[in-house]
Amino acid sequence: MNLGKTVSMWLLTIILSSCALAELEDAPGECEPTSWDAEKDEFGDVFDELNAEFGADQDGLFTSGCGDSGKADFFDSLPEPCDLLAPLLELGDDLMRAGFILGVEGEGVLGATVGFGGFDLVWDLYHQQMTVSRYAGAGFGVPGVGGSVQAYTGVAFGFEHGVSDWDGYFVTTTLEIGLPFLKEFFSLNPSVYVSGEDADENGFVDPTEVLLPPNGVYGFTIGVSVGFNLIPELLPVGGSITQGRWQPYKSAIRHFYDRFRNTQIAYVIPMKVRLVDHHDGTECHANWPEQEEWRDCVIEFGDPDESYLKRSLNTAYSICDVSGGCALPLTWPIGGTAIAIGALRSSGASFSSFCPGYGGTH
């Protein structure tokens, strides 16, 4: 080997070694940033696009401590993706497969028997999908005679395959807390729920068929209900335990798909959405469900040729679009979290590498 080649090889070795040491020691140096450093930077650009239209800072630029108000103040400044992701990881990686729920439910009470039905919109932030489900069920609660309607919002965890994991059986425990004003008519309804499997196909989930976390889908909701009860309640707090079955609401899925594909981000960029078969990810018929009604299709956000981070803007934007500009509780931080999950997935890194120094079980 001649002297020139030897010198070149040593120079290359020294350069590569210097970059490795700089990365290990967090030295600024002249080395190329890691791929996840680039994703963190791009996270700010993508989040800023969402903030420009829906945040309190309509210029799309956060200025910490300079008088921003409303939703921008929820973060105080441009959020870091790791700050949004860390709470999801406190109980384990499974919580990263998170979702968001908006719904409306009607309930009737006759004696100790409770009957209910409704529909909800469900986003899977990890798989960047959405579905609409309708459901009905029954259970037992504080005796009474009456009815109510509630609107609710909440979070879900455990989407292992996609948003279609939401369809199936759920067992829910709910508290009903009378509000100080007109407590006979208005109540706050926090609930926790877990999914179940009807293994014997008898239309009922018995205790042995309940899927306890981290198995299945689980989470919580918070709702406000208005209604009446002909039997005065002795205590300001009531409760119930119910179970029901959730099924795809195909005409509503189609409605929101059409709505999103005719929506423009920043008033100029069409939202990117597809209808895909939840089993194999293939695109559904253009006239679904009028044609191929037998297929179970869900809404998928973004262009599949783009990164998860770029696609996440469409997911977050759809949440804000449906919730009146991310004005409903949880919607604004959930929108940011959807983008943060997209950044993590685009990096291809583990959470501990993407967010060094953050706690949790990883």
* CA gap 66, 53 in Å, rounded: 19
Instruction: Report the pLDDT value the prediction gives residue 74, as an integer from 0 to 100.
Output: 72
Q: So what's the architecture of 96-248 in CATH?
A: Beta Barrel (2.40)
Angle at 265 between CA 260 and CA 267, to 5 degrees: 110
Interval 302-339: pLDDT, tens? 999 999 999 999 999 999 999 999 988 889 999 999 99
For the whole model, what pTM was predicted? 0.84
Alpha-helical regions (H) of the chain: 3-24, 35-54, 71-75, 81-89, 250-261, 308-322, 331-347, 351-354
Residue 293: pLDDT band (50, 70, 90) is very high
Dihedral angle computed from the Cα positions of residues 292, 122, 339 and 57, in that order, rounded to the nearest 10 degrees? 120
Angle at 196 between CA 193 and CA 197, to 5 degrees: 170
**Could you tell me which residues are beta bridge partners of residue 150?**
105, 225
Place of tokens 């103040």: 73
